[in-house]
Amino acid sequence: MQNDRLTSASERGPLGPRSRRVLPSWVSTMVLLLPTYGWLTLAVFLPLLTMFVFSFMSATPMGKAPIVFTLKQYRAFIDQPYLVGIGINSLLIGFWTTLFCAVLGFLAAVALVQSTLGKTREILLILILLPFWTNGLVRVFSWTMVLRENGFLDNLLHMIAPDAGSIGFLYTRYAIVVGLVHGYLPYMILTCYIALVAIDDAIIEAASSLGARWWTILFKILVPLAAPGLISGSVLIFIPVIGSFMEPRILGGRVGVTMGTVIEDQFTQAFNWPLGASLSFTLLAVVLAIFATFSGVLRRGTAV
């Protein structure tokens, strides 16, 4: 169906000017967007709507239990107050991960833009994208090998200082953040890189010829001009990170309890889809509220 429309649109395209019948611009816009929106409706909106309906049910509608529509799932944060702590924990993990990604990613992107020697830029880009080619689960498990007691990190330390204790920090929040930063860093590098590459070298040359030190150039020119990249990268990272469940589960051990793992448990272990759905939508509302609060900053940043 959608393909039919697409072909008819492409046929109409060249026909238009020849027959001197110019279609209004909104028609072509609509035709071009239709496949995308059709797909979005099918793959995102409908499942989301189903989950939204589920979130008002009293039980998962797959057994014999009678289904009653109720708001009780949305009271979870009041009935089970420990969820508030988990929620704050998840937001903190999201905050720190995004912050580390922003700092490391921005610096990496600056290095990438500066490297103009031969093919270094291409090679660096490939090196940055390389982790994307391996499965995320494999990456996280390899971190467990590095961070655990008597892991690679400890072995390295003991090569230098044989008597030192263990510095392995597997099963802590730091381990979760390390794993998440590793997983999501490429997003930040790429968005910052795209923003930085657009900056005219002449501006930086002008600044340095007028005596600006490197930190002035960095904070007065590069960061403000790359703000759109930084902000879109942060949004891209923050949202999946607060819902992540694999990294906390594997790297967090006892402390690896986040909104992501709680929601996952509701769907897999507890078979309580309505509660899982309502928690997801509450989380979505919190994220939207955060973005709404900072929307002024976001708009100013991306408007540059």
Partner 1 sequence: MTELTRRNTMKLMSAALVAGVSFSSLPRKAFSAGSITVLNWQGYGTDEAWSVKAFTEKTGIAVVHDYYSSESEMLTKLRTNPGAYDLVVLNAARCAQAVAEDRLQPIDFSKVPNASTVDDSLRSNPNFSKDGKGFAVPWVWGMTSLAIREGMPVPDSYAVLADAAYKSRVAMDDDAIINVGVGALMTGQDINDPKDLAAVTTALKSIKPNVKLLWSTEDQWNKSFAAKEFDLSLFWSGGSVRSKRNSKLPVQFVVPKEGGIGWVDGLGIPASAPNAEGALAFANWLIDPVFYVEWATKVGAPASSNSAALSALPADDLSRQVHKPEYLKTMGIMSALPDDRREAFNNVWQEVKAFYAE
* Interaction site with partner 1 (CB under 8 A): 59, 63, 65, 80, 82-83, 85-86, 89, 144, 148-151, 170-171, 249-250, 252-257, 261-262, 265-266, 269-272
Q: Supply 37's token pair.
A: 């929106």
Minimum Å gap between C-beta 141 and partner 1 is 9
Compare residues 29 and 268 and give the one whose CB is closer to partner 1. 268
- Distance between CA atoms of residues 10 and 64, nearest Å: 51
Task: Give 167's DSSP letter.
Answer: -
Compare residues 69 and 215 and give the one whose CB is closer to partner 1. 69
Judged by DSSP in three states, 66 sits in: coil
Compare residues 242 and 262 and give the one whose CB is closer to partner 1. 262
Which residue, among 192, 136, 144, 201, has the nearest Cα to 170 in the 3D structure? Answer: 144
Minimum Å gap between C-beta 77 and partner 1 is 12
- 176 by Cβ neighbours in 10 Å (0-12 / 13-18 / 19+) ranks as buried
Compare residues 175 and 190 and give the one whose CB is closer to partner 1. 175
Minimum Å gap between C-beta 252 and partner 1 is 8
Compare residues 28 and 272 and give the one whose CB is closer to partner 1. 272
Range 71-105 burial, b when 16+ CB lie within 10 A, else e: eebbebeeeeeebeebbebbbebbebbbebbbeeb
Minimum Å gap between C-beta 190 and partner 1 is 32
Minimum Å gap between C-beta 65 and partner 1 is 6
